[in-house]
Structure 1
Amino acid sequence: MTKEESFYIGYITKTKGLKGELQIFFEFDEYQELDLDVIFLELNGKMVPFFISNHKLYENKTGLFYFDDIDHIDKAQPLVKKKAYLPLNKKPERDEDEFFYTDLKGFIAVDETLGELGEIIEVNEYPQQFVATVLYKEKEILFPLNEDFIVEIDDEEHILTLDLPEGLLDIYLNP
């Protein structure tokens, strides 16, 4: 399997105990719906399958996992900080009318006052809010994605119209 044939679900944060148990932090929103019998870890640029013998999911977007053949902390330790993936055919189906802030990646951000800001290159979830990243005037700028700033989301044209607070971009442009 290649990276293009998979989708990112999270990464291994740490080991737990001496028997090779690993903790995964999920960056995939619907992690409880994932079919977790095998996951792929990116090791030296290759997607390597790891079969899951046992796991437990938690409300804080983490889970504890035992993999087949990983039965000691010494075998588990090299997997810490590795990114975890699942094949595309295991991605949970969504209703057509479901929309997440993370779907805005690739949209063009347009401010009502400043005009076009650029393509949204990343959407990150932080406690309390989602934040979009745009390359504007050769600088990375961040702005919160919330109902107060979003004027319109044009799903067909992939345009996000915003009304950002005055001075927000000055923080990035005039340090």
Structure 2
Amino acid sequence: MQQNEYLQVGVITSTHGIRGEVKVFPTTDDPSRFEDLKEVVLDTGKEYRKLAIEGVKYFKQFVILKFKGIDNINDIEKYRKMPLLVSREDAVELEDDEYFMADILEMDVYTDEGELFGTLTDILETGANDVYVIDTKEHGEVLIPAIKDCILDVNTEENKMTIHLMDGLIS
């Protein structure tokens, strides 16, 4: 599996005012990272369009962005519901044992006994720790906490995760 060149950091939800600002729902762990970005890439579905960031503000859970050269609501309205991406070079640095969601979703999950257990289909952010949703043939959907006791190894190059099934995780 080839890793995506771009990672999503937000989605334009609506326009904000009439001067070309947009309200963005951040899909990054740290919304303040927009302040460090010089540009984002708009995925229109047909093309990738680079947009230079001119201003960053915050409103409730949203980030308000102003792009250079877009000064009118009519120039930005058509981009509602479209994702904003950053290149991997502009992505945040990860700590050890941290991964971009895009790199582990659809990953094959094996038990520590070497058996294929299922596929990682979703990641629930619960606050204390993430919870991985594993789709299995034998047990249906299984929730595995993303903690060191359960997640033994993640190999993004081989698209493989190794887990330890603690007692009580599957019924």
TM score, norm. by length of structure 1: 0.70
State the 1:45 CA deviation: 2.7
Seen in structure 2, the aligned counterparts of structure 1 residues 47 and 73 have a Cα distance that, compared at 3 Å, is same
CA distance 1:101–1:89, change in 2 (3 Å): closer
Aligned equivalent of 2:161: 158
Distance 1:127 1:14 in 2: 27
What is the aligned-residue identity percentage? 20
1:137 maps onto 2:140 in alignment: no
Partners of 1:41 and 1:139 lie apart in 2 by 39
Structure 2 counterpart of 1:172: none
- Assess, with a 3 A threshold, how the Cα gap between structure 1 residues 146 and 134 changes in structure 2: closer, same or farther: closer
| Counterpart mapping for 1:5-154 below 5 A | 5-33=5-33, 35-57=36-58, 60=61, 62-95=62-95, 97-99=96-98, 102=101, 105=105, 106=107, 108=109, 110=111, 116-125=116-125, 130-137=130-137, 141=141, 143=143, 145=145, 150-154=149-153
**Secondary structure, counterpart of 2:74 in structure 1:** helix
Gapped regions of structure 2 (runs ≥ 5): none
Give the paired residue count.
160
Structure 1: 5+ residue stretches without partners:
168-175
SS in 1 for 2:164: strand
CA RMSD of aligned residues (A): 3.5
